[in-house]
Amino acid sequence: VKEIQSKLSGDVTGSSEYQELLSEKLNLEAALGSTEYALQQLKMSYNDFKKSTSTSEKELLHKLNDIQDRHQILGERHKSASDQLTRLKEYLRDLPTHEEHQQLQQEIAKKSAQISHLSSKVDHLSQEVKKLSKREREQEARVEALTQERDDFSLKLNLTENLLKTLETQRAEASEGQYSKEDLLWTLDQLKKELENARKMKNKLASVEGKQKKTEQRLERMMEQVVSQSKMSSLIRSLVKNLHIAVNQLKDMVTICRQISQGSSPDMSLLLSFSDFLDDDEVETLSNANLTARLKEVESLIKELEDVREYLQEQYAHHLAKNITCVPM
């Protein structure tokens, strides 16, 4: 434009170049007007676009906030599910395996057989103790009778000794002529018989006392054996009691795992404390039928553990599939 103005400053109005430049100027002015109009239209379009873009941006920001909130909720759910899965894994890690349950079942069966054997042995020893007690009472009665008999013979022996002293006195007196020789011989013969009977009874009493001592020693050995068997039976009963408590606690743990895995609130009474009580009467009345029933309880518990394991496998697989689906989002 400056170049055109410099050219127009001279006297060139009549030249063809001037006319061309003038025409070009008019064209440029027309182009400038159309350009300004287009610019105005463009500004209006830009303002409209800016307004629509601002509205869309607000909507997108609102949607983005919603997505972030949902993502946060999903993250919290994922964290909760992950924590729950970790707790379940810890529970399952503490649970015995199928092989351990089989070993436990075999051990219970073995201990049950031992208890049955020991119970029969204890019953047999109890019968023997009763027999020995009866025999002991008979021996005590016999000893008492023999003691009474010994006392009687001791009395007779004392009487015989007194009689012998009397005989000695009589013999001394007979030597002086107060008694006849035949009377003294007869009295002496009677005294000898009494002394011989007293010796026999004394020997018999000593033999009976020796037998009584042997019987008492044998009875003491039998009682020691019975006490030892009773202690062993008590230990086995205590083992069975603890095994039964462990089975009950495993049942409680299976119940808690099942409740948590199904999404429900666990039983707080079981969660705070497992059952650890077993009535002593139940232990004292152990029999083959009771042991068989408890073995069935163990088998049922193993089946429940297997069901819980399969359910947790399905839940974990579903959880993994859900996480894989959510990753592209």
pLDDT tens per residue across span 57-116: 778 888 888 888 888 888 888 888 888 788 777 766 766 677 777 777 788 788 777 777
Round to whole Å and give the CA distance between 104 and 294: 12
Instruction: Report the pLDDT value the prediction gives residue 15, as an integer from 0 to 100.
Output: 62
Please choose, from the candidates 106, 120, 107, 100, the residue with its C-alpha nearest in 3D space to the C-alpha of residue 239. Answer: 107
Q: Can you say how many angstroms the Cα of residue 295 is from the centroid of all Cα atoms in its chain?
A: 16
Mean pLDDT, rounded, for 36-51: 83
Round to whole Å and give the CA distance between 184 and 168: 9
Instruction: Report the pLDDT value the prediction gives residue 328, as an integer from 0 to 100.
Output: 43
Least confident of 78-87, 94-103, 141-150, 317-326: 317-326
Round to whole Å and give the CA distance between 248 and 251: 5
The DSSP annotation for 225-294 comes to HHHHHHHHHHHHHHHHHHHHHHHHHHHHHHHHHHHHHTTSPP-HHHHH-------HHHHHT--HHHHHHH
pLDDT tens per residue across span 13-38: 556 776 777 788 888 888 888 888 88
Mean pLDDT, rounded, for 122-141: 77
pLDDT tens per residue across span 180-198: 556 667 766 776 777 777 6
pLDDT tens per residue across span 230-288: 666 676 677 777 777 777 777 777 777 777 767 777 777 766 666 655 555 555 455 66
- Confidence band for 4, pLDDT divided at 50, 70 and 90: low
Mean pLDDT, rounded, for 115-124: 76
Cβ contact 24:8 at 8 Å: no
Mean pLDDT, rounded, for 124-137: 77
Highest-pLDDT range among 19-23, 232-236, 305-309, 320-324: 19-23
- Confidence band for 310, pLDDT divided at 50, 70 and 90: confident
For the record, the structure tokens of 138 come out as 């008979």
Instruction: Report the pLDDT value the prediction gives residue 108, as an integer from 0 to 100.
Output: 78
Instruction: Answer whether residue 326 shows pLDDT above 50.
Output: no
- Confidence band for 327, pLDDT divided at 50, 70 and 90: very low
Instruction: Answer whether residue 167 shows pLDDT above 70.
Output: no
Largest CA distance in the chain: 222
Instruction: Look at the block and give the residue holding tokens 């359910």.
Output: 311
Count of all residues that appear for the chain in the document: 329
Instruction: Answer whether residue 329 shows pLDDT above 50.
Output: no
**Apex 238 CA angle, 243 and 240, nearest 5:** 35
Please, is 137 exposed, middle or buried when counting C-beta atoms within 10 Å of its C-beta (0-12, 13-18, 19+)? exposed
Task: Give the mean pLDDT of the chain.
Answer: 72
Give the helix ranges, DSSP H, for the chain: 2-8, 16-94, 98-175, 181-261, 268-272, 280-284, 288-326
pLDDT tens per residue across span 196-212: 776 777 677 677 777 76
Mean pLDDT, rounded, for 164-191: 64
